[in-house]
Amino acid sequence: MIEKSTVITESDAKSGIGKYAWSLYNLGIFEDFCHLSYNGYSDFQNHIYFTKRWVINTLYSYYFGGPYKKYVKSYKYVHASSPAHFHLIKYNKNLVGTVHDFFALKYPQTRAIKYWFMKNIKYIPYLQGVITISNHIKKEAEERFKDVEFTTIHHWLDDKHYKTRDKFEVRGKLNLKQDKIYLLNVGRDVPRKNLDLLPKIMNKLDDRFILILITNSERLLPYFNRKENVIILKMVTEEIFPLYYNAADLLIHTSIDGGFEYPYLEAMFSNLKIVTFDLPISREILRDKAIFIPFRDKNDPEDWIDAILKNYDKKPEYGDLIDYYKPERAKKDYENFYKKIGWL
Tens digit of each residue's pLDDT, the chain (344 residues) = 999 999 999 998 888 899 999 999 999 999 999 999 988 889 998 999 988 888 888 889 999 988 999 999 999 999 999 999 999 999 999 999 999 999 999 887 778 889 899 999 999 999 999 999 999 999 999 999 999 999 999 999 987 889 999 999 999 999 999 999 999 999 999 999 999 999 999 999 999 999 999 999 999 999 999 999 999 999 899 899 999 999 999 999 999 998 888 999 999 999 999 999 999 999 999 999 999 999 999 999 999 999 999 999 999 999 999 999 999 999 999 999 999 999 99
Domains in the chain (CATH in brackets) are 5-156+326-340 (3.40.50.2000), 167-324 (3.40.50.2000)
3-state secondary structure the chain: CCCCEEEEECCCCCCHHHHHHHHHHCCCCCCEEEEECCCCCCCCCCEECCCCCHHHHHHHHHHCCHHHHHHHHCCCEEEECCHHHHHHHHCCCCEEEEECCCHHHHCCCCHHHHHHHHHHHCCHHHCCCEEECCHHHHHHHHHHCCCCCEEECCCCCCCCCCCCCCHHHHHHHCCCCCCCEEEEEECCCCHHHCCCHHHHHHCCCCCCEEEEEECCCCCCHHHCCCHHHEEEECCCCCCCHHHHHHHCCEEEECCCCCCCCHHHHHHHHCCCCEEEECCHHHHHHHCCCCEEECCCCCCCCHHHHHHHHHHCCCCCCCCCHHHHCCHHHHHHHHHHHHHHCCCC
Query: How long, in residues, is the chain?
Result: 344
**pTM for this model (two decimals):** 0.93
Q: What is the pLDDT of residue 55?
A: 82
Alpha carbon distance 120, 123 (integer Å): 6
Q: What is the pLDDT of residue 94?
A: 98
